[in-house]
């Protein structure tokens, strides 16, 4: 049995020691000294969240299929163990071999949300790896980032040797083979990185230099040496059935955030919501075949013994063969006594029919995302959802036995007015009124419960709203307060609930999402001041970040309060995601006019994703 990096006394003194011992069912154990490449796969948050991430499990399985590669996992230690490791000089270790991360060849960090940036530095620091790529030696692992935040890597670029832009199944094998070749030949770290920069989808920050105008905007962004491409091309899996899924899904010892087996229905989305980064960067929509899904659903349930299976996608009801697959899956799960979870459904008749098939008689709550309280603003964001859709869907839910409905909204969207904000409680009131008007007392099970919550809009790269402005935190809070007050004024206020998210984290997320390399100094300064787990309310300290921006002479308002010109060079413009800048500009103009763009199955809008030669762009073609 592998000797643990932490002794029994230490493990008994910290929260959730099972986070750090490895050895879970289906974890891969190899001899670290018998492989050519050791790859530490890191999720910079606690174990329970990282183990819920499907992408990490897919890459873990993919890497470990290679006999010459050992992929091991590492997560951010919680604050209690973080303190002990620093006091006792214990280096951060991988779960599988319990050996130091610094002994690995690669440290791959999946970056799913901006508020984990301080945790990235924690992982590097506890591993004994210099925070800045420029300070690393031949003895240090190569640090590579991936995931949605890598589509604007600039705020954290100085901390990474490389970024992988796109889907990992495409060129990771090629990158690993290149590393083996250069390592065997005794080539230097810099020589490998220069070669890696020519692998499609690989961005090596040290070979690019930003220059700035006097007003702080980006003047240029270009390679600093010959042979480095000016653009980095996003990598896309064209045929989803060509890639293998998870051979042996990991089964954690402790309950994780998403404690269920998970099957990926498809990637991408047809809807084109103008605020949604995922809907743009994962284009075009590409589906797995039903045969593929059946094979892996059976395997996942047999291996994991899970009591629930979740069907993952950005918009589950858009999977073209959902009814066929669900009919088969319901038969399978009814025998195995397994529940089905189907997130990301739209509020329409089809989705509710689906929900009625998979939910038990007791009926849990339904969750939908109108995003905006008025039709005008839903058209601005291209939600593709009318009030009639919402009311009809809610009524169908009530008639089907549901009495709890959750609505998600956003505040601070482009062109938003007071009328749009007041439309949130008024829409919820109309839904409540409809329940009492349309559902006879004899058929009601208590009072209807309408729960609404709003987050604050954050403009993201590669969306039509990437040029939009944000607002000061006090403005967000005031808007939310007025919405909350208006909820109390509704006739059925006892049936309505409303809450809103934190405004301070919204501002930071906005800076990180659209920031440039100058923000990296702030991130490091805040980390040195104690920033850690900023996505967690109990550990987040906004003042620490305010002080760090001031100390570094970086103006937060420059990144948040300013509407960009469509002619401005943006920090992420060197990445080619397939969707063109001209399409995004057209959508930005259409948003300001309140013009709806049809979804991809209704009409092609010429976004540019056809260049990948697959998916919805070619449906129906032989």
Q: How many other CB atoms are found less than 10 A from the CB of residue 543? A: 9
- The better pLDDT of the pair 413, 1 is held by 413
d(CA 351, CA 345): 6
CATH of segment(s) 242-344+594-622 = 3.30.750.210
d(CA 531, CA 575): 30
261 three-class SS: strand
d(CA 148, CA 523): 19
Dump strand ranges (E) for 401-504.
404-411, 449-456, 496-500
pLDDT given at position 88: 97
Q: What are phi and psi of 367, to 5 degrees?
A: -120, 130
Is the confidence at residue 407, as pLDDT, over 70?
A: yes
Of 367, 475, 357, nearest to 412 (Cα)? 475
Cβ neighbors of 12 (< 8 A, separation 6 or more) are none
d(CA 271, CA 259): 28
pLDDT digits (tens, 9 = 90+) for 304-315: 888 889 999 999
Helix axes 172-184, 189-196, angle to 10 degrees: 150
Residue spans of the domains in the chain: they are 8-233, 242-344+594-622
Lowest mean pLDDT among 53-57, 148-152, 203-207: 53-57
Largest Cα–Cα separation, the chain: 80
Retrieve residue 117's tokens.
């940036």
Is the confidence at residue 175, as pLDDT, over 70?
A: yes
d(CA 27, CA 61): 10
Lowest mean pLDDT among 96-100, 153-157, 185-189, 324-328: 324-328
When pLDDT is cut at 50, 70 and 90, the band that residue 362 belongs to is: very low
Is the confidence at residue 361, as pLDDT, over 70?
A: no
pLDDT given at position 576: 98
Q: What's the N-to-C CA distance of the chain in angstroms?
A: 54
Are the beta carbons of 342 and 358 closer than 8 angstroms? yes
d(CA 107, CA 145): 8
pLDDT given at position 343: 74
Work out the average pLDDT over 64-72: 98
- Cα Rg of the chain, angstroms: 25
Residue 144 per-residue DSSP state: E
pLDDT digits (tens, 9 = 90+) for 248-283: 899 999 999 888 899 999 999 999 999 999 999 999
- Average pLDDT along the chain: 94
Helix (H) or strand (E) holding 108: strand 106-110
Residue bearing tokens 């998970």: 262
CATH of segment(s) 8-233 = 3.40.50.280
Is the confidence at residue 148, as pLDDT, over 80?
A: yes
Q: What are phi and psi of 40, to 5 degrees?
A: -90, 115
pLDDT given at position 509: 98
Is the confidence at residue 621, as pLDDT, over 70?
A: no
Of 268, 261, 335, nearest to 293 (Cα)? 261
Residue 169 per-residue DSSP state: T
On the question of a cis peptide bond just before residue 284, with omega within 30 degrees of 0, the verdict is: yes
Percent of the chain at pLDDT > 90 equals 86
Are the beta carbons of 523 and 155 closer than 8 angstroms? yes
Work out the average pLDDT over 410-425: 98
Residue bearing tokens 């998600």: 408
pLDDT digits (tens, 9 = 90+) for 477-528: 999 999 999 999 999 999 999 999 999 999 999 999 999 999 999 999 999 9
Q: What are phi and psi of 203, to 5 degrees?
A: -110, 125
Please provide the size of the chain in residues.
622
């Amino acid at each position: 049995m592998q000797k643990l990096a932490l002794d029994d006394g230490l493990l008994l003194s910290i929260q959730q020691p099972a986070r750090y011992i490895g050895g879970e069912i289906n974890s891969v154990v190899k001899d670290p000294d018998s492989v050519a490449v050791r790859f530490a796969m890191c999720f910079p948050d606690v174990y329970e969240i990282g183990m819920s991430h499907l992408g990490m499990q897919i890459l873990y399985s993919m890497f470990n299929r290679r006999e010459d590669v050992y992929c091991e996992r590492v997560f951010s230690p919680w604050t209690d163990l973080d303190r002990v490791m620093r006091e006792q000089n214990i280096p951060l270790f991988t779960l599988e071999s319990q050996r130091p991360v610094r002994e690995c060849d690669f440290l791959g960090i999946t970056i799913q949300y901006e508020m984990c940036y301080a945790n990235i530095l924690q992982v590097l620091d506890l591993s004994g790896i210099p925070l800045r790529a420029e300070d690393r030696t031949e003895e240090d692992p190569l640090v590579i980032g991936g995931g949605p935040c890598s589509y604007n890597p600039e705020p954290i670029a100085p901390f990474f040797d490389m970024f992988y832009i796109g889907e990992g199944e495409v060129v990771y094998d090629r990158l690993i083979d290149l590393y083996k070749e250069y390592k065997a030949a005794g080539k230097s770290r810099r020589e490998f990185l220069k070669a890696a920069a020519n692998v499609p989808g690989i961005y090596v920050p040290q070979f690019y230099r930003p220059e700035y105008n006097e007003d702080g905007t980006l003047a240029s962004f270009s390679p600093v040496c010959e042979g480095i491409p000016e653009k980095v091309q996003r990598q896309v899996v064209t045929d989803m059935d060509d890639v293998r899924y998870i051979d042996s899904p990991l089964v954690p010892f402790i309950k994780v955030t998403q404690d269920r087996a998970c099957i990926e229905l498809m990637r991408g989305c047809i809807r084109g919501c103008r605020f949604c980064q995922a809907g743009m960067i994962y284009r075009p929509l590409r589906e797995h075949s039903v045969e593929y899904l059946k094979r892996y659903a059976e395997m996942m349930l047999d291996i994991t013994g899970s009591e629930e299976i979740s069907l993952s996608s950005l918009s589950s009801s858009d999977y073209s063969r959902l009814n066929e697959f669900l009919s088969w899956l319901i038969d399978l799960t009814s025998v195995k006594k397994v529940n089905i979870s189907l997130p990301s459904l739209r509020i329409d008749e089809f989705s509710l029919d689906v929900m009625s098939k998979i939910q038990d008689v007791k009926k849990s709550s339904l969750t939908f995302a109108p995003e905006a309280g008025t039709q005008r603003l839903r058209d601005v964001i291209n939600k593709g959802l009318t009030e009639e859709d919402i009311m009809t869907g809610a009524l169908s839910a009530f008639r089907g036995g549901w009495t709890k409905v959750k609505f998600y909204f956003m505040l601070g969207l482009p062109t938003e007015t007071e009328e749009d904000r007041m439309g949130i409680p008024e829409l919820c009131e109309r839904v409540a009124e409809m329940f009492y008007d349309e559902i006879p007392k004899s058929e009601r099970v208590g009072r209807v419960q309408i729960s609404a919550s709003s987050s604050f809009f954050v403009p993201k790269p590669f969306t039509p709203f990437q040029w939009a402005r944000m607002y000061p935190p006090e403005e967000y809070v005031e808007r939310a307060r007025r919405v909350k007050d208006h909820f109390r004024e509704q006739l059925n206020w006892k049936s309505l609930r409303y809450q809103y998210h934190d405004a301070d984290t919204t501002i930071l997320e906005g800076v990180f999402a659209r920031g440039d390399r100058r923000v990296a100094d702030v991130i490091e300064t805040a980390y040195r001041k104690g920033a850690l787990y900023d996505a967690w309310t109990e550990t987040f300290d906004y003042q620490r970040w305010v002080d760090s921006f001031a100390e570094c002479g970086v103006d937060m308002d420059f990144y948040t309060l300013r509407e960009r010109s469509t002619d401005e060079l943006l920090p992420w413009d060197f990445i080619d995601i397939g969707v063109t800048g001209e399409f995004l500009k057209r959508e930005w103009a259409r948003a300001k006019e309140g013009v709806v763009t049809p979804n991809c199955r209704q009409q092609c809008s010429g976004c540019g994703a056809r260049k990948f030669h697959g998916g919805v762009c070619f449906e129906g073609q032989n």
